């Protein structure tokens, strides 16, 4: 069910355009190597921003009991999902039904998971979930291979039909997503372990934290990783996303808290 095709390779593989291939334009973000169903970009956007939008909507309603004003974040949320969906279809990374499926799945995940925030969980919980996720995925992968499923079929198609070889990136493979999620889980647990509850900061230092964290994450995301050997790449990719929560939740707020208190003294 999840072995969805992507438009940029389906056009050539479908056999519908034998005589005349349609002229389509690809982009650096087109040539993703995983299956296309559902859209991961739409799903993650819907899930993550649901937490932000629902909190903002509740806050606005508590301050000004206006249904119109408290509904504004939800309207922006829908518009953002539409924009993300159109962009994914436009660059030939997904079909429309895959974007819709990703958005619906993301909204459901956002609603469920926003009620189960793992604040206060021990560090062992995050390690256990991360290792369990990794081992279960590897077990399913090995089992499907034994049953004769070729789980790397999408990588071969991406390499075959991508207009530029350098656009086929190792960080878009399904195993990269797995190592990213496992690393982020452990990083979240470590960040909560170093500073339970975080720092209580006024609005101005909090805004500064957001700006500095955004700059720091931009540069962390740009760090070049060696793609050979693949084991080294996946290990460093894992470490990279262990670092991300430390930067956002510990390092930047800690430095802002330190300097703001020194300034007051």
Residues with a catalytic annotation lie at: 41, 94
Distances (CA, A) of 24 to 21, 51, 122: 9, 37, 51
């Amino acid at each position: 069910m999840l072995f969805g095709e992507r438009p940029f390779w389906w056009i050539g593989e479908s056999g519908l355009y034998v005589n005349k291939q349609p002229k389509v334009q690809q982009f650096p973000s087109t040539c993703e190597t995983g299956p296309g169903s559902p859209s991961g970009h739409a799903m993650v956007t819907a899930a993550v921003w649901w937490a932000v939008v629902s909190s903002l909507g509740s806050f606005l309603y508590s301050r000004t009991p206006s249904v119109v004003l408290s509904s504004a974040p939800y309207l922006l949320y829908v518009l953002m999902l539409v924009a993300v969906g159109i962009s994914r279809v436009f660059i030939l990374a997904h079909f429309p039904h895959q974007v819709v499926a990703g958005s619906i799945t993301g909204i459901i995940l956002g609603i469920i998971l926003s009620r189960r925030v793992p604040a206060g969980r021990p560090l062992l919980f995050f390690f256990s979930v991360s290792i369990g996720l990794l081992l279960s995925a590897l077990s399913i992968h090995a089992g499907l291979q034994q049953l004769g499923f070729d789980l790397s079929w999408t990588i071969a198609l991406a390499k075959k039909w991508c207009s530029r070889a350098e656009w086929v990136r190792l960080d878009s493979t399904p195993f990269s997503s797995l190592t990213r999620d496992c690393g982020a889980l452990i990083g979240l647990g470590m960040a909560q372990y170093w500073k339970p509850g975080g720092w209580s900061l006024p609005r101005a230092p909090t805004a500064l934290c957001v700006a500095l964290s955004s700059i720091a994450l931009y540069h962390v995301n740009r760090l070049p990783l060696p793609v050979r050997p693949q084991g080294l790449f996946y290990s460093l990719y894992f470490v990279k996303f262990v670092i991300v929560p430390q930067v956002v939740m510990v390092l930047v707020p800690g430095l802002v808290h330190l300097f703001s208190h020194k300034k007051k003294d």
